Chains A and B, each alone.
Chain A
Amino acid sequence: MSILVDKDTRLVVQGITGTEGLFHTQQMLAYGTNIVAGVTPGKGGEWVEGKVPVFDSVKKAAETTGANTTIIFVPARFAPDAMFEAADAGIPLVICITEGVPVQDMMRVRNYLDQKGVRLIGPNCPGLLTPGEAKVGIIPGDIAIPGNVGVVSRSGTLTYEVLYAMKNIGLGASTCVGIGGDPVNGTSFIDCLEMFNDDPKTEKVVLIGEIGGTDEEKAAEYIANKMTKPVVSFIAGQSAPPGKRMGHAGAIIEGGAGTAEDKIKALQSAGVRVARHPEEIAELLK
């Protein structure tokens, strides 16, 4: 068991012929992910790596191949349209890797996808990895092994750090979900905590947060009230000067709220063990 993606995932790659899309399609295929189609408008009829058919639209790809999940690698200015297209094609799970999508676009996308009942992961995220089964995203496959730790994170590369440290001491992941660091995104910490709580394979959960917003505080409240499994955490940005933008639009300290200190305090009072640096997470899981 795992959450969101597994052996039965039938993936379509939007933007499959672009530089990033193509490179990561190769990586995902090498990992064994079941990629059933690609989409690049104007390139329908071509083939990628000799085995993935390319379609002009997500609708055609889904109708022909029965795809149930899509991953988006198109540039930021085209990403909102790609997400709308995926939702209109009836794909229930959309993963958007693209970074730099304008926030007003994301508010429209999120509200539309909610109305359609579509689950969105991202944008500005590394995607999903269920070790040994499916890699739907850009998380390097060889840094994680199958196991019973659910990982959810707002950060991309910081997640790799934690998976890698876990692997180095023999700890594996059930599923790793990178939810992305943008101020308006799809799936939240709480959504993932719920799914991990219900997943029989997951025994412990790692939550990786960062400064900005109040999602970690809300997650802490959920953990205190509902979570039956132990949670370990790390919050990035303890040394960040207040009011400075640290790249993620979400990582702005808003009027004193959303500091690393606030988040750590909230998590600790919910019984979460908080690591001082990312590699220490692996130690706390032992």
Chain B
Amino acid sequence: MKLHEYQSKTIFSKYGIPIPKGRVAATAVEAKHIAEELGGRVVIKSQVLVGGRGKAGGIKLAKDPNEAEQLATQILGMEIKGLPVRKVLVDEAASIDQEIYLGITNDRAARKPVIMASAAGGVDIEEVAATNPEKIIKVHIDPLLGIKDYQTRDIASGIDLPREYWKAFGEIVKGLWQAYSDNDATLAEINPLVISKGKLVALDGKMLIDDNAMFRHPNLNEMRDLDVEAPSEIEARKYGLTFIKLDGNIGCMVNGAGLAMATMDIIKLFGGEPANFLDIGGGAGADKVAAAMRIILSDPNVKAILFNVFGGITRGDEVAKGILAAMQEVKPRVPMVIRLVGTNAEEGRRLLANADMITAETLADAAQKAVAAAQGA
């Protein structure tokens, strides 16, 4: 789950990281009031969960409250990369002497968190990473022990930070580590962290939170921005399903992410286009299956459905019961191809014997039948 800049910075400030004075506004009038409170020049920053806001015109500098209102009106009416701007952050403008990059993420290859820092922060950090990787300092953190003071000094000296800033920088690195660690982040990033009039300030902030850890962060779950997800994806999450809407016309319902991807791949291989990725997960019961079927059928593009269930922890009879329950409820309007193998599959096939479905033995057979059914429909 992605957090907005204003949400991330609020979290950062709780961990002692200095951020600019400012607040978030949903209307231009509010933006004007905030600018009046702050006095002086302000930055109006669109709050959307995509990169490249500045280049898209979603970040503007205003010299006074009236201009702040004007620019906020403009930005609040924008769409950036397909996402509507519903809020703007109004921050006091900072003079910038240097831009530093500071971020923490999971290095899956090292199986440890890694802190990255660079003296060449700002919008082009990805280019720096590609062309001058030596300009980015990387320090791995022992997940059992956490960060140590000397590591913050190593980072500070590694990016040639003037010595007078080391102490303040060390506190920021430790604060960012704590924010990352306490909130189960998969990314916590400040870009840029600026030197402004002799002080370090986090001008921007970004956090990604591990969806698997949401059970221990109900407060973060309330911050979720539903604009970035299709309604069907939100509905799916309620039932513990992983669903991603795609552009094709063959609905897929599969157990297991790998098999779901392979099922999409084979549909393509035989000339069809998948309408979605849907993993009903391990151990899916009848209610989940029924919900999955409703979600697939809510897409008007769907011309056929392919059920590919290879029972392991998921049991074939449970899936069959779910399909039967869903068929009574939603009355499917498209042909359905089913392939059921593995744990309790025989029982499942017996339950479905009288249902109006096309059966298949192998995955290749199932995919070909689904492609044919979608073309015939």
Contact = CB atoms under 8 A, between A and B. Distances in A.
Interface in A227-259: 234, 236-241, 244-251, 255
Given A107-B106, A158-B262, A214-B109, A164 B212 contact: no
Contacts of A248: 257-258
B111 A246 contact: no
Nearest to A106: B111
A27 B315 CA distance: 12
A97 B313 contact: yes
A23 B269 CA distance: 37
What is the interface of chain B mostly: helix, strand, loop, or mixed? mixed
A92 interface: no
B242 A247 contact: yes
A160 interface: yes
Nearest to A139: B312
A221 B215 CA distance: 39
A238 B257 contact: no
B106 A240 contact: no
A156 B113 CA distance: 27
Most buried by A among B184, B283, B310, B314: B310
Given A111-B144, A157-B259, A277-B364, A239 B264 contact: yes
B244 A184 contact: no
Contact of A278 (B106, B262, B283): B262
A183 B268 CA distance: 27
A140 B109 contact: no
Contacts of B363: 161, 277-279
A100 B342 CA distance: 23
B265 interface: yes
B197 to A, nearest CB: 35
A276 interface: yes
B266 interface: yes
Nearest to B257: A247
A155 to B, nearest CB: 2
Between A104, A165, A249, the greatest number of chain B beta carbons within 10 A of the residue's beta carbon is seen for A104
B143 interface: yes
B186 interface: yes
Contact of B269 (A24, A139, A140, A277): A277
B358 interface: no
Contacts of B216: 77
A238 B261 CA distance: 8
A143 interface: yes
B310 A157 contact: yes
Contact of A110 (B111, B313, B341): B111
A247 B279 contact: yes
B111 A157 contact: no
B374 to A, nearest CB: 15
Interface string B136-159: 000000111000000000000000
Contact of B258 (A19, A156, A214): A156
- When A and B form their complex, which 4 residue pairs have the shortest distance between CB atoms, in order from nearest? A155-B258, A157-B256, A247-B257, A102-B213
18 contacts: A20-B313, A104-B210, A110-B111, A156-B258, A157-B310, A157-B342, A158-B262, A160-B342, A164-B310, A213-B109, A218-B109, A239-B268, A241-B246, A246-B242, A247-B279, A277-B262, A277-B364, A278-B262
Given A158-B262, A160-B341, A279-B362, 13 more contacts: A102-B212, A107-B106, A157-B255, A157-B256, A157-B310, A157-B314, A161-B262, A214-B109, A218-B109, A236-B262, A251-B257, A277-B265, A277-B269
